[in-house]
Amino acid sequence: MAACEPTRTYLRCVSANRPLLSFVSVIRSDFANARPNTDLMTHNIDVSLINCIIFRGEPSAVIPRIAGPSFMTGKTLMHTQPAHTEVEPRCSAEALAEREQAFQAKIDADIKIEPKDWMPQAYRQSLVRQISQHAHSEIVGMLPEGNWLTRAPSLRRKLILLAKVQDEAGHGLYLYSAAETLGASREALIEALHAGQAKYSSIFNYPTLTWADVGAIGWLVDGAALINQIPLCRCSYGPYARAMRRICKEESFHQRQGYEIMLTLCRGTAAQKRMAQDALNRWWWPSLMMFGPPDAESSHTQQSMRWKIKRHTNDALRQKFIDQSVSQADYLGLTPPDPELKWNEQTGHYDFGTIDWSEFWRVLKGEGPCNRERIEARRRAYDEGRWVREAALVFGAKQTRRAPGTD
Amino acid sequence: MNQHQALYEYLLRLGDNALILGQRLTEWIGHAPALEEELGSANVALDLIGQARGWLAYAGTVEGAGRDEDTLALQRDILDFRNVLLVEQPNGHYGDTIARQYLFDAFHYPLLEALHGSSDQHIAAIAAKSCKEAGYHRRRSAEWMIRLGDGTTESHTKLQRSVDTLWPYTGELFTTDEIDRALQSSGVAADLTAVQQAWDEEVARTLKTATLQRPAAGWMQSGGKQGRHSEQLGYILAEMQFLPRAYPDAHW
Ligand SMILES: [Fe+2]
Ligand SMILES: [Fe+2]
């Protein structure tokens, strides 16, 4: 399996004395010469490679689905559950209880659940919901920063931002693939998003008004995402845990580049510093909301923790983020917009002001500054791209017919 | 025009082509027809903008006026841009973007291959790295030409129209002027006749496989290489150069 695992290549400027600090996944260059098949649509990434990432370590698991760009392969899409769940035998309540016990025992023993294993329907649903929300967030999350791609202030910044936004697309791809191992299809999940039936992280419903917002997003939003996601690397579901390990590595680069943008601004002109402070003012509270509602109001926390889909509570993670970010803001010479922020000797944490949860619920409901725009942009891209995907599908089918030795 | 000036101009042509096409591709990010195409377009844009940095940094050195690649990219006005008109054409639909990309890639690859043998060592080095990338670009865009050309009736019709619309911008790729001539005799610049021949063969082959018609020979647009652009470029620059122009004393 090692042969098909993409490794990261660090992009360096041809001319430069200034190496990019970047983290570009030029996946392509690593296996351009050893491309496993010609079904690829781009020269950079291949379905089977994604499968290698998601399924790594379990060559015996035969996955009865095509994960990835099924529209390229000329094969029909399956909107069904994997075979092993379709044929799940009807069993007595007793037998079911026994299975559930065995399942929970496995989880308690920290044994990973794999796609071919039996799992309770609610566990499967819970994971599909969480993984697909996460995938949608990666994709919608490309938009606010993508907004500055054409206006990045230097070529180096443009390359770094472009690579970052590209990473997010890659994350989306890994995560949709992980969701597909549970029987969901990427197309169906995307259509649910466009129909307003699926959620994504509300943070992406806020606008990016200045270049400093790109810095603030990297620093705070990717930073918060990282804190949320590190525990998921140990999630009980194998494919999700493995996808998260990859993703977290990249998110920490994202956070660093964001912080570096902020640092440059804060050491720059008065206008730049103003931009930086303004961005912090706008992104601070929404970032705190990224950890979800307080534990008392969080509907999924307890069961998710028992299943080890989740390992820490929303409030614990939020506190960790605040503690870390306050000192980072300090170093920048910026002030978070919370007059009640204060170090508490006794708890060893920062005390903070009241979060306006009514804003959180409002934005979640669709009443944020950019909800409409974001979904509309995604829907338009999908609709306007339909003829392209169809053409690829039809061409793929023609190729299959033309190929000698096939029916 | 002396060799030195000619070299500077020549490097701007190489750098501006890569820069403007890369800039155009970044407009797609977040809006591509499929996730895989987000990744693919971003890769090509990363390569091209990376190449532009190389060419423009060298141009700045040759010019010797203290301008680096960012100053040249982000603080030069339209009259001094030297890219061909083809790369500044709007993205249009995905077929328009693919056709523009392919017609350029089919030129870019043999050009860089030729420059790999340039007598100027800097040019040869940048070309060596870029050439490999351009090979991937050409392969990718050719595959898409074939997919869309030989896909559905709709995609075929759309792509044929894209090719027809962009065709008049391909002549300029091969026009030779005093800058090329000044540098060709010393083996610095590429021989565009040979590049054109490679382009002709490549494009004919792909169009045929894609079941597309090669547009009839006719009048060709030109001027970009000499700094006479279409109206498109002004808008590209207005957006791309906004921050350094709005905050001239800032570092980013
Ligand atoms: Fe991400
Ligand atoms: Fe990220």
ipTM for the assembly? 0.98
Q: Which of B57, B151, B239 minimises the CB distance to A391?
A: B151
Model confidence at A160, pLDDT cuts 50, 70, 90, reads very high
Q: Is A127 exposed, middle or buried (0-12, 13-18, 19+ CB in 10 A)?
A: buried
Q: How far apart are CA A199 and CA A194, in angstroms?
A: 10
Q: Which of A142, A155, A162 minimises the CB distance to B73?
A: A155
Q: Is B145 helix (H, G, I), strand (E, B) or coil?
A: helix
Q: What is the pLDDT of residues B33-92, one digit of tens each?
A: 999 999 999 999 999 999 999 999 999 999 999 999 999 999 999 999 999 999 999 999
* Helix, strand counts (H, E) of chain B: 11, 0
Give chain B positions within 8 Å (CB) of A268. 250-252
Task: Give yes or no for B248 touching A (CB within 8 A).
Answer: no
Task: Give yes or no for B62 touching A (CB within 8 A).
Answer: no
Task: Give yes or no for B245 touching A (CB within 8 A).
Answer: no
Q: What is the pLDDT of residues A371-401, one digit of tens each?
A: 999 999 999 999 999 999 999 999 999 999 9
Q: Which of A44, A268, A381 minimises the CB distance to B43?
A: A44
Model confidence at A41, pLDDT cuts 50, 70, 90, reads very low
Whether the predicted pLDDT of A287 surpasses 80? yes
pLDDT computed for residue A88 by the predictor: 54
Structure token pair of residue B104: 């350029």
| Interface residue of A20, A137, A147, A162 to substitute, partner B, most B CBs within 10 Å | A162
Structure token pair of residue A194: 């466009």
Looking at residue A70, the DSSP 8-state letter turns out to be G
- B42:A169 CB<8 A: yes
Task: Give yes or no for B58 touching A (CB within 8 A).
Answer: yes
- B249:A269 CB<8 A: yes
Q: Least CA distance to A154: which residue of chain B?
A: B70
Q: Is A144 helix (H, G, I), strand (E, B) or coil?
A: helix
**Nearest residue to A383 via CA among B162, B147, B158, B33:** B33
**Nearest residue to B41 via CA among B53, B28, B58, B51:** B28
Minimal C-alpha gap between A87 and chain B (Å):
32
Looking up tokens 């894609």 gives B210
Q: Least CA distance to A144: which residue of chain B?
A: B30
pLDDT computed for residue B138 by the predictor: 98
pLDDT computed for residue B182 by the predictor: 94
Model confidence at A289, pLDDT cuts 50, 70, 90, reads very high
Whether the predicted pLDDT of A85 surpasses 50? no
Model confidence at A93, pLDDT cuts 50, 70, 90, reads confident
Whether the predicted pLDDT of A344 surpasses 60? yes
Looking up tokens 């999908």 gives A382
Q: What is the pLDDT of residues A63-77, one digit of tens each?
A: 323 333 434 433 333
Model confidence at B105, pLDDT cuts 50, 70, 90, reads very high
Model confidence at A407, pLDDT cuts 50, 70, 90, reads low
Q: What is the pLDDT of residues A214-271, one digit of tens each?
A: 999 999 999 999 999 999 999 999 999 999 999 999 999 999 999 999 999 999 999 9
Structure token pair of residue A107: 């989880």
Q: What is the pLDDT of residues B128-182, one digit of tens each?
A: 999 999 999 999 999 999 999 999 999 999 999 999 999 999 999 999 999 999 9
Answer whether A201's CB lies under 8 Å from A141's CB.
yes
Q: Is A295 helix (H, G, I), strand (E, B) or coil?
A: helix
pLDDT computed for residue A33 by the predictor: 28
List the domain boundaries for chain B: 3-246
When mean pLDDT is compared across A77-86, A328-337, B161-170, B238-247, the lowest value belongs to: A77-86
**Nearest residue to B97 via CA among B29, B187, B152, B154:** B29
As a whole number, the mean pLDDT across chain A is 81
Second CATH level (architecture) for the domain B3-246:
Up-down Bundle (1.20)
Q: Which of B34, B46, B240 minimises the CB distance to A150?
A: B240
pLDDT computed for residue A8 by the predictor: 29
Minimal C-alpha gap between B8 and chain A (Å):
16
Percentage with pLDDT > 90 across chain B? 99
Under 8 Å CB pairs connecting chains A and B tally to 196
- B129:A14 CB<8 A: yes
- A15:B126 CB<8 A: yes
CA of A26 from ligand 2 middle (Å) equals: 16
